[in-house]
Amino acid sequence: MQIAFYTQNDHLFREIDKAFEEDGNYRCIRFSSELPLIRFLERHDAALVLFDAGRSCAAGRGVLSWRACHFRRDLPVMMIGQSWDTDSIIEALDAGVDEIAVGTPCAKEVLARARRTITKSGGSANSDSRITLGEYTIDRSTSAISVNGQHIKLTARELTLAWLLFANAGTLLTREQIARAVWGKEAVIASRSIEQHIYKLRSKLSLGEHSNLQLKTVYSIGYVFDLVRTRPATTAAARLSEPVAAYPF
C-alpha cells in the first residue's frame, strides 16, 4: 500500500519511511510540492496522504480542495503539525483533515495514527452529497443540479467545478486554486478550460440578473460564487426552458 508523503524535511522522510517499511504493509512516496502530488493521486491508489504541515494546514489546502470536489473522502489525509496551537488544530479539522499528530514527530506515533486513520476510512464515501444555496441544490449522487424541481445534468468536469463553487460560496477562489483542485494543473495551462466551464455553468444554471445566485469574475484573479438576497420575481427555473448557447470557440 502506498502512502503519499508531502515534506521538505529529508531527515523526517527517512525516519517515517523506515517506520512504514519495517511495518511491512506500506511504502512512502515523497512529494515536495502539491501539483505533482495531486497528479499522482489522480493516476494511482494511495492509502493515505501524509503532510508535514509546519505551522498550519495551508500546505495541504490544494489537496483538500481537490479531494472535496472530486468526492474522494475514501482517501484520508493526515497532518504532522510540529508547532501547532489550538487554533491551528481547529483550522485543520474544519478544513477536513482526518488525523493530526502534534509536536515533534515520533515515527512510531505517526505510524500508529496512520494505521488507525486508514482503518477508520475503510473506503467510505463522503456522506455530504448535497449542498443547497437559494433555489439551487447540487447532488453529486445524481450528477445534477436541481432548481425548483427541475434537474440540470452536468458533465463530470462541470459537476466537479460546480461542487467546488457551491462548497466555497462567498469565498474568492483564485484561478490557481480552481486549476489545481479541478484540473490538477497550473492556471496558465488550464486557463482556457476554466473559462469554458465557467461559461457553461453560467448558461446551464441561468446565472443572470433573474437568478438568486451569481458567479462574479474578479478580473485577473478568479471568481466569487454567492447568494444574492434580492432579485426580480422571475426565477431561474422559469428561464431554464430557454436554449443554452454553446461556448463561442
The residue type found at 45 is: D
pLDDT exceeds 60 at position 241: no
* Angle at CA of residue 169, ends 167 and 172, nearest 5°: 110
- pLDDT tens digits for range 4-42: 999 999 999 999 999 999 988 889 999 999 999 999 999
DSSP letters for 64-106: HHHHHHTT-TTS-EEEEETT--HHHHHHHHHHT--EEEESS--
- pLDDT tens digits for range 162-206: 999 998 888 899 999 999 999 988 999 999 999 999 999 999 998
pTM: 0.69
pLDDT category of residue 56 using cuts at 50, 70 and 90:
confident
**Contact yes or no for 184/177 (Cβ under 8 A):** no
**Contact yes or no for 63/39 (Cβ under 8 A):** no
The CATH H-level superfamily of 2-121 is: Response regulator (3.40.50.2300)
130-239: which CATH topology?
Answer: Arc Repressor Mutant, subunit A (1.10.10)
Give the domain ranges of the chain: 2-121, 130-239
Q: How far is CA 5 from CA 15, 51, 79, in A?
A: 12, 6, 10
Segment (H or E) for 178: helix 175-178
